[in-house]
Chains A and B, each alone.
Chain A
Amino acid sequence: MDPKVITLTVNGRKHQVALPPNITLLRALREYLGYVDVKNGCEKGDCGACTVLLNGKAVNSCLVLAWQANNAEIITTSGLGSAENPHPIHRAFADEGAAQCGYCTPGMVISAKALLDENPHPTEAEIREAISGNLCRCTGYGQIVRAIQKAAEIINKEGDAS
């Protein structure tokens, strides 16, 4: 099949891009649009490193075809905030030592964001459930759970803005 021009709104910015049907959202974001903050870990939905928000829901972008995301709103970790202006989840992750090598972190941050959007006061069990699709080999997860708890605290106090 021929490429089709689709529209992807990434972190609030509208992109029109011609893509063949077999390109995943992960590859569209990384290779066609340059969003390398979305990490490629396994391309099979095993690790969660490529997690993005697709119309507000956390998905493995390697398991979504780009065409399926036509006209959708996509949020990646760099869309939540920047180094100069980090999001509360970013600050909490950085302060709690939740990022070691940092490769799983962009996906973890998005899974945390999806959770806190839906549930501003999650229990530890709910946090565990929310990131159960994200593998981390460095931390043993404890500091990630603490970071998400801390992020919830900050957001509930100061709001969700970066």
Chain B
Amino acid sequence: MIDRQDTKIVGKITRRKDGVARVTGQEIYSVDVNLPRMLHARTVTSPYAHAVIKNIDTSAAEAMGAVVITFDDIPKVRYNERVITVPWALHKDKYVLADKVRRMGEAVAAVAAETEALAERAARAVVVEYEPLPVVLDPHEALKPSSAQLYETVMYGDNEIKVQNNIACQREFTEGDVDKAFAEADVIVGGVFETTKIYHAQLEPKTAVCKPEPDGGLTVWATAQSIHNVRIVLGQIFSIPLSKINVKRIPCGGTFGSSIQMNTVVPICAALALKAHRPVKLTLTREEDMNDHTRYPLHVHLQLAAKKDGTLLGAKEDVIADIGAHILQGYSYLGVCLGWLVSLYRLPNVKYKGIAVYTNKPPSCAMQGYGNPQVTFAAESLMEELAEKLGMDPMELKLKNYVGLGDTFWGQGPMVRSIVRSDGVPELLRKGAEEIGWYNRPKSGSQTGRYRRGIGMARGFHTSSAGAPQPGDVIDFSGAMVKINQDGSVDVVSAVMDHGGGTLEAMAKLVAEELCVPLDKVNIAPAETCSTVYDVTTHATRGIYAGCGAAVRVAKKVKQEILETAGRYLNIYPDGLEIYLDEVNGQTIIQCPAIAEKRITLQQLATRCWTDSWKTIAAVDSYRPANCPPAYVSVFLEVEVDTWTGIVRVIKSVMGGDCGTVVNPDLARGQLEGGLSRGAGFALYEQNTWEENGQLTSKGYWIDAKTPGIMESPRLSEFNSYFASTYEPTGPFGAKGLGEASSNPVPAAFANAIHNAIGIHFHELPITPERILAALKEKSK
């Protein structure tokens, strides 16, 4: 067991370095980037969800002075926007512009012109002749041989493979003897759970700005969670050496998973810039953005088998994932849809089948949890039903079976196995139960009257990264450079993205702590692909654990070099020196404790290294996490159901987080609170529906996507949060992740609280007023 380290900077509340720039409007996002002689682009989007493109006439648009590209102008390379899966296991089904239309609003051509207004007119002047095809929207329908087929073939690695019945990929898994477990079980519970294809609703519309360079390369500013992956995919598509593509890190206006992949706008913008020989900017309209990506909706058939004493014996899980018109990371997704379940509870016997199905809808991509909220909704709802059958307290049933300290878990799929080394679950649950008044909650369904209150809880987790002892089919590593400047200040050069949660603030704090340097002397340097080493992407709740973990690893090397360099100057063996932060004077001191005059500040040392024409103290390295520790979260809710209107109101919400050492306490609280908001949206309000022709019913109006506003959010007195006092021995200063974990259990907590209030289990999200009223009516029959 590693001892907890005392920290001077980590865990302290400080004004974040980029805070004032953000509030005063000085922060620049991709959409704000304007370059000299920049053209504005618009896409020509399909009014059909499934169609053959017969002919495109661009003459009228070109006569207006626009630069136009169609399928004929783009490289004939099928690619996958999301290159986190190893290349030989990657499905690739799309081109820069559609070869055939497979969803509403898909770009079939694009134009660039002097102004956006002219570009819009030119886009409308492009005449496209379509042959509409039958549209298939329902994944169960899509599996039938008689349904419209989206693809004949796709690429799998370098091989072309046939697609049958719209099945993009499937995955089966068996462990133990599930039939025996179910035969020997005292109690079996099961159900079908449905979740919807909601919109990420990041505030910034996705944008790319591409500037062609004289050497044939590109400079790119784009809404992206990984600058390196954007560069790699652009290189693959346009056959440009990566050394000639420079992608700049720029803040994102929220992502929630929607920009893990290189966004569709990026290669379209790049193709236009290369053709026009001028910089081009392409921003999606909100309607286009809503057609561009959504969460994976999941159909889950889950059964759990248990002994009378509550010990779980096994599970059967079948899932169908509607991946929409293109595959992003469907195969890995099917792996995690089992991983989330078996890493939530100890299930020695498991049988699983997952199918990823193409439909004529927006492509599904990761959205805060990558299937975890969907699976946890099913699992935590069923655990409630199992507890009811067993006559047990659901919380005790969960504590008896949860995957915790010392257990093996593989949340990120069967290849990504590690051991749980820090576990705050009992602390989270006991504290939450106390705060909400768990033991005084009413008996489910016992209440009468118009307003009925109920208390529910759910627990969940997310992995901190997709790290594992062995390489798997998912790429996961980070790197950084740390250097000491000539005045003793520090630059941290890393490609890690911060989507707003404070990942880079954490990086500054962790590096400052490691080097014993005041926080205001640590600079998170602007980053671009040409001057940073690879970082996979900020996803999988890996920012602090793996992304910042790499920076701390490198800082340790720099610290060693500081000691060795100081040793040379002081004529002391490095092991005889210690380094500490003199907080009063804001100086880093390197000193020999036994000989007081053998002392030098980091500032003096760095300056001498410079004036002696010796060196810059610096290091660069990469780091592959060999674990992906679970960040646990618990949610306790008290809700009030208005049985006349079906409206659910939160009376009290209590969230607990186990992220190991809390690096940014105020920002970590913000993660929990934001997770509750997005979880509540998924649980109660948000829904995308499609008309028969594949048109979004909302027509892309954001307000109809029902993203929660403040009126749907708890008042200050109705929300409380706390953190477990754990220490993750494999994490930087004991830290692990938090972000995605914070919304994973929220929908189940709502379902369980509503069940406690009105005695009805809901298996379908969102639990809208209409559904509540219908269920109450059905129950009263």
Task: Write the residues of chain A forming the contact surface with B, with a CB cutoff of 8 angstroms.
Answer: 30-31, 34, 36-44, 46-47, 49, 76-78, 80-83, 86-87, 89-91, 93-106, 109, 124, 128, 131-146
6 cross-chain pairs, A with B, having the tightest CB-CB distances, nearest first: A37-B25, A103-B253, A101-B500, A102-B22, A140-B677, A94-B19
- Smallest CB–CB gap between B653 and chain A, Å? 10
| Residues in A whose Cβ lies below 8 Å from that of B426 | none
**B255 to A, closest residue via Cβ:** A101
Residues 193-231 of B, flagged 1 when their CB comes within 8 A of A and 0 if not, give 000000011111100000000000000000000000000
| Residues in B whose Cβ lies below 8 Å from that of A133 | 709
| Residues in A whose Cβ lies below 8 Å from that of B702 | 42, 44, 46-47, 135
Given A94-B16, A128-B710, A138-B254, decide whether A49 and B669 contact each other with a Cβ distance below 8 A: no
User: Do the beta carbons of B21 and A83 come within 8 Å of each other?
Assistant: yes
Listed residue (A34, A42, A46, A145) with the most chain B CB atoms within 10 angstroms of its CB:
A42
Docked Cα-Cα span, A46 to B713, in Å, equals: 17
**What are 17 A-B pairs at a CB distance below 8 A?**
A31-B116, A36-B28, A39-B204, A49-B203, A93-B19, A97-B666, A100-B670, A101-B251, A102-B22, A102-B23, A102-B253, A103-B253, A106-B25, A132-B711, A133-B709, A139-B670, A145-B716
User: Do the beta carbons of A140 and B674 come within 8 Å of each other?
Assistant: yes
**A147 to B, closest residue via Cβ:** B23
Docked Cα-Cα span, A104 to B702, in Å, equals: 15
Docked Cα-Cα span, A156 to B707, in Å, equals: 34
- Known interface pairs A86-B23, A135-B201, A140-B677; 20 further A-B residue pairs with C-beta atoms within 8 A, sorted by A's residue number: A36-B25, A38-B25, A39-B204, A40-B205, A77-B24, A86-B20, A93-B19, A93-B23, A94-B19, A97-B667, A99-B500, A100-B502, A100-B667, A103-B253, A135-B702, A135-B707, A138-B674, A139-B673, A140-B675, A145-B710
Docked Cα-Cα span, A137 to B673, in Å, equals: 11
Q: Which of B1-38 contact A (CB under 8 A)?
A: 15-16, 18-29, 31-32, 34
Partner of B713, one of A95, A96, A97, A142: A142
Partner of B26, one of A49, A78, A132, A144: A78
Residues 108-131 of B, flagged 1 when their CB comes within 8 A of A and 0 if not, give 000000001000000000000000
Given A36-B28, A97-B666, A132-B709, decide whether A142 and B673 contact each other with a Cβ distance below 8 A: yes
Given A42-B286, A137-B201, decide whether A101 and B253 contact each other with a Cβ distance below 8 A: yes
**B25 to A, closest residue via Cβ:** A37
Docked Cα-Cα span, A80 to B26, in Å, equals: 12
- Smallest CB–CB gap between A69 and chain B, Å? 19
Residues 297-338 of B, flagged 1 when their CB comes within 8 A of A and 0 if not, give 000000000000000000000000000000000000000000
Partner of A83, one of B24, B32, B667: B24
User: Do the beta carbons of B28 and A141 come within 8 Å of each other?
Assistant: no
Partner of B716, one of A46, A47, A142: A142
Docked Cα-Cα span, A144 to B677, in Å, equals: 13
Q: Is B719 an interface residue (CB 8 A)?
A: yes
**B16 to A, closest residue via Cβ:** A94
Docked Cα-Cα span, A14 to B302, in Å, equals: 65
User: Do the beta carbons of B15 and A82 come within 8 Å of each other?
Assistant: no
Given A43-B285, A77-B24, decide whether A139 and B19 contact each other with a Cβ distance below 8 A: no
| Residues in B whose Cβ lies below 8 Å from that of A99 | 19, 22-23, 500
Partner of A97, one of B202, B203, B205, B670: B670
Listed residue (A96, A99, A104, A131) with the most chain B CB atoms within 10 angstroms of its CB:
A99
| Residues in B whose Cβ lies below 8 Å from that of A124 | 715-716
| Residues in A whose Cβ lies below 8 Å from that of B116 | 31
Docked Cα-Cα span, A19 to B255, in Å, equals: 34
Listed residue (A96, A103, A135) with the most chain B CB atoms within 10 angstroms of its CB:
A103
Docked Cα-Cα span, A99 to B29, in Å, equals: 14
- Smallest CB–CB gap between A160 and chain B, Å? 16
User: Do the beta carbons of A90 and B678 come within 8 Å of each other?
Assistant: no
User: Do the beta carbons of B24 and A140 come within 8 Å of each other?
Assistant: no
- Smallest CB–CB gap between A151 and chain B, Å? 11
- Smallest CB–CB gap between B693 and chain A, Å? 22
Docked Cα-Cα span, A80 to B500, in Å, equals: 23
User: Do the beta carbons of B24 and A90 come within 8 Å of each other?
Assistant: yes
| Residues in B whose Cβ lies below 8 Å from that of A145 | 710, 716
Listed residue (A76, A100, A102, A131) with the most chain B CB atoms within 10 angstroms of its CB:
A102
**B673 to A, closest residue via Cβ:** A140
| Residues in A whose Cβ lies below 8 Å from that of B574 | none
- Smallest CB–CB gap between A81 and chain B, Å? 6
User: Do the beta carbons of B286 and A37 come within 8 Å of each other?
Assistant: no
User: Do the beta carbons of A77 and B23 come within 8 Å of each other?
Assistant: yes
User: Do the beta carbons of B673 and A143 come within 8 Å of each other?
Assistant: yes
- Smallest CB–CB gap between A85 and chain B, Å? 9
- Smallest CB–CB gap between B369 and chain A, Å? 15
| Residues in B whose Cβ lies below 8 Å from that of A89 | 23
**B28 to A, closest residue via Cβ:** A36
- Smallest CB–CB gap between B235 and chain A, Å? 28
- Smallest CB–CB gap between B663 and chain A, Å? 13
| Residues in A whose Cβ lies below 8 Å from that of B205 | 40-42
**B679 to A, closest residue via Cβ:** A140
Docked Cα-Cα span, A17 to B16, in Å, equals: 38
**B705 to A, closest residue via Cβ:** A46
Given A36-B32, A43-B286, A97-B666, decide whether A141 and B713 contact each other with a Cβ distance below 8 A: yes
Docked Cα-Cα span, A136 to B670, in Å, equals: 12
User: Do the beta carbons of A83 and B26 come within 8 Å of each other?
Assistant: yes
Docked Cα-Cα span, A76 to B675, in Å, equals: 30
User: Do the beta carbons of B716 and A39 come within 8 Å of each other?
Assistant: no
Given A47-B702, A101-B203, A101-B499, decide whether A78 and B670 contact each other with a Cβ distance below 8 A: no
Q: Which of B23-64 contact A (CB under 8 A)?
A: 23-29, 31-32, 34
User: Do the beta carbons of B26 and A37 come within 8 Å of each other?
Assistant: yes
Docked Cα-Cα span, A57 to B370, in Å, equals: 42
User: Do the beta carbons of A82 and B674 come within 8 Å of each other?
Assistant: no
Docked Cα-Cα span, A29 to B707, in Å, equals: 27
| Residues in B whose Cβ lies below 8 Å from that of A100 | 254, 499-502, 667, 670, 674
Residues 490-529 of B, flagged 1 when their CB comes within 8 A of A and 0 if not, give 0000000001111000000000000000000000000000
Q: Is B252 an interface residue (CB 8 A)?
A: yes
Listed residue (B15, B23, B202, B667) with the most chain A CB atoms within 10 angstroms of its CB:
B23
Docked Cα-Cα span, A94 to B254, in Å, equals: 17
**A82 to B, closest residue via Cβ:** B24
Docked Cα-Cα span, A110 to B719, in Å, equals: 26
User: Do the beta carbons of A46 and B711 come within 8 Å of each other?
Assistant: no
- Smallest CB–CB gap between B41 and chain A, Å? 14
**A102 to B, closest residue via Cβ:** B22
| Residues in B whose Cβ lies below 8 Å from that of A40 | 31, 205, 283
User: Do the beta carbons of A103 and B24 come within 8 Å of each other?
Assistant: no
Docked Cα-Cα span, A39 to B252, in Å, equals: 12
| Residues in A whose Cβ lies below 8 Å from that of B402 | none
Docked Cα-Cα span, A90 to B32, in Å, equals: 20
Q: Which of B460-515 contact A (CB under 8 A)?
A: 499-502
Docked Cα-Cα span, A99 to B251, in Å, equals: 13
- Smallest CB–CB gap between A65 and chain B, Å? 14
| Residues in B whose Cβ lies below 8 Å from that of A47 | 203, 702
- Smallest CB–CB gap between B430 and chain A, Å? 24
User: Do the beta carbons of B678 and A137 come within 8 Å of each other?
Assistant: yes
User: Do the beta carbons of B710 and A77 come within 8 Å of each other?
Assistant: no
Given A37-B24, A97-B666, decide whether A141 and B501 contact each other with a Cβ distance below 8 A: no
- Smallest CB–CB gap between A31 and chain B, Å? 8
Docked Cα-Cα span, A98 to B710, in Å, equals: 13
**B21 to A, closest residue via Cβ:** A83
Q: Is B714 an interface residue (CB 8 A)?
A: yes
Q: Is B682 an interface residue (CB 8 A)?
A: no
Docked Cα-Cα span, A42 to B32, in Å, equals: 15
Given A46-B703, A83-B26, A101-B499, decide whether A141 and B677 contact each other with a Cβ distance below 8 A: yes
Q: Is B457 an interface residue (CB 8 A)?
A: no
Given A100-B502, A135-B707, A142-B673, decide whether A90 and B23 contact each other with a Cβ distance below 8 A: yes
| Residues in A whose Cβ lies below 8 Å from that of B256 | 137
Partner of A142, one of B19, B29, B201, B714: B714
Docked Cα-Cα span, A104 to B27, in Å, equals: 12
Given A93-B23, A97-B666, decide whether A141 and B710 contact each other with a Cβ distance below 8 A: yes
